Chains A and B, each alone.
Chain A
Amino acid sequence: MIIVGQGPIDGRLQAQLKKVFPSATSFSGKQGDPPHFNAFQQDPKTGQPSLAGFAFWTTELDPLERGYDGPIKMLIGMDTKGVLTGILVVEHHEPYGSFSVEPPEFAAQFKGKSIRDPFRVGEDVDAVSRASITITSATRSIKNSARRVARQLLTPPASK
């Protein structure tokens, strides 16, 4: 794996990045404002890595968001078109099992979602009645942080 940019990436982080951005072949270190990792794909023609998207921590992009008990730390992958490539819940303090974002179905449903989607719990995001605080908080922080990255790093596709 080629590592470009500043900031070292250890093995665990590498695995986490790969999980949220499976199609990427390499990642940069964390950089820039807002803080993000660049994800690269090998261009089949030139053999050169080209930018495929970004990965970022929700806790760094939407730090004021709070779940039932504190922030929910998630790593998000997003391609250059503003489509989410994967989500990993890394750390949360939500109690009660299904009361939380722990069940893998929660993260899985965001894969392939566009940041233009409404991200409304109960509509395009599954609601768990017991976990309303947690699920809505996590959903807001995914939406807000992904849109913040898009606003600053992506030009919207011409055809709206």
Chain B
Amino acid sequence: MTVSTPRFLARVALAVMLTFALGPVAVRSQQGGTAREEPGATERQEPGSPAREGPSSAAPAVTPQPPAGGGWDFPDEREEVPGWSQLLGAQAVDLGAFTAFAALALVSFFRKSTRLKIVTLAVSIVYMGFLKSQLISVTNIFALLGMNLPVFRYSLAWYLFAGFTVVSTVLWGRLYCGRICAYGALTQLVDTVVPARLRVSPPRWLEERAAYVKYGLLAATVLYFLATSDISIYRYVEPFWMFTGQGSTVMWIGLGILLLVTIFVRNVYCRFLCPVGAFLGLLSNLTVFRIKRWSECNTCKICEKACEWGAIKGPKILVSECVRCDDCERLYLDKQKCPHWLILYRKSDLMARRSAVPAKSIAP
């Protein structure tokens, strides 16, 4: 946490500066292009047409408004541009709640605690899922591509959440997938209660190839969006809408099938299908603090077998598949199981015995 804080603050500061720097430019460009829109131009661009209103086509003639114009004198006129203290005040609960949740997730991560991790997953399902429905979605990638992100000053909690996701991915990898995402939390909790005999483990060759499906799905979804400007495709490539309880019959049937498969093949959506996971997987190639490997890992297979995400291949950790679940790192710490420690002990034991032998022989 201590590592992330300065970087995170720097990022927030950068975002604030960008907002201020770009804001006036956008206004000017709109005012500059005052060429009066032809009457009827907007009608042609009505709902059916997918064309989004860019700054050039929207808003003919934005004229500077008289400050308290027309003698209307609205009682709350001063609030038209609320100050930062007001903005922060209105969003304090959301900001505080997410900060507390992120802190819990990071504490469970740094302490490698199974219990705290389960608490984190439960909080994620309840708060991030059912209460806020705040999940990173492909629509966020669309918004990023179309520069259609929410207004910064009014959406601080969302930017904190999105910023945390990006920064934590760059620092540690797909921590978001392993702890923050409410759907991932749900399937991981399901995984802890499903009896082991029900599970089907896909063979290694299939698992490796299936992991690429999500990149294909990400590419296809983004291409579809770029071609049609239609975001509704998100309904069919991600199940995150389930937390709002609003979906068509087709969507619920699809979700039912997905959850049924998840009982047999653990985390099937996260590992093989999720476009957001694919996006974060690409980003995680930058991971700064990677999982440590010992020289013994070249030959040992314990972690590779224990990894539920198929993220360990021989001596290598596949960062784009790893969600920092801690399973292998808990094994590293276990001095009864990890060969690194066993070998160290045997060596020191041997040394001790060797040094003990001459002493005995000298004795009369």
Contacts and interface: CB of A to CB of B under 8 A. Distances in A.
Contacts of B158: 68, 133
A13 interface: yes
Nearest to A144: B80
A151 B68 CA distance: 8
Interface in B62-90: 62-63, 65-66, 69-76, 80
Nearest to A95: B139
Given A129-B131, A133-B158, A96 B241 contact: yes
Interface string A126-158: 000110110011001000100110111111100
A57 B42 contact: yes
A94 to B, nearest CB: 9
A24 to B, nearest CB: 18
B347 interface: no
Contacts of B59: 59-61, 63
Interface stretch (A25-33, A46-54, A104-112): A25-33
A91 B149 CA distance: 16
A19 interface: no
Sort A-B residue pairs by CB-CB distance and give the 6 closest, nearest first: A97-B246, A7-B39, A151-B69, A70-B148, A63-B59, A151-B70
Nearest to B70: A151
A23 interface: no
B137 interface: yes
Residue among A63, A95, A137 with most chain B CB within 10 A:
A95
A91 B48 CA distance: 9
Contacts of B53: 59, 63, 71, 73
Contacts of A31: 39
B99 interface: no
A140 B231 contact: no
Interface string B221-263: 0000000000110110000110011110000000000000000
A30 B40 contact: yes
Interface in A51-109: 57, 59-61, 63-71, 73, 82, 90-91, 93, 95-99
Interface residues of B, number: 59
Contact of B58 (A13, A59, A96, A155): A59
Contacts of B155: 133
B123 to A, nearest CB: 16
Contacts of A10: 43
Given A59-B53, A150-B70, A129 B132 contact: yes
B66 A151 contact: yes
A70 B143 contact: yes
Contacts of B146: 69-70
Contacts of A160: 73
Given A13-B46, A64-B27, A96 B154 contact: no
B124 to A, nearest CB: 15
Contacts of A59: 53, 58-59
A73 to B, nearest CB: 8
Contacts, number: 155
B37 interface: yes
B172 interface: no
Contact of A33 (B39, B61, B232): B61
User: How would you classify the secondary structure of chain B's contact residues: helix, strand, loop or mixed?
Assistant: loop
Given A95-B139, A96-B246, A63 B62 contact: yes
A137 B70 contact: no
A116 interface: yes
Given A66-B149, A70-B146, A93 B47 contact: no
A70 B65 CA distance: 24
A7 B40 contact: yes
B70 A70 contact: no
15 contacts: A9-B43, A12-B46, A33-B63, A35-B37, A60-B59, A60-B60, A61-B59, A90-B47, A93-B143, A93-B148, A95-B137, A99-B241, A151-B66, A156-B70, A156-B72
A8 B60 contact: no
A133 B154 contact: yes
Given A70-B52, A93-B139, A93-B143, 9 more contacts: A30-B40, A60-B42, A60-B58, A93-B148, A97-B241, A97-B247, A99-B244, A130-B131, A156-B71
Contacts of B143: 68-70, 93
Contacts of B39: 6-8, 29-31
Contacts of B58: 59-60, 63, 71
A158 B227 CA distance: 53
Nearest to B43: A13
B121 to A, nearest CB: 20
Most buried by A among B52, B59, B71, B142: B59
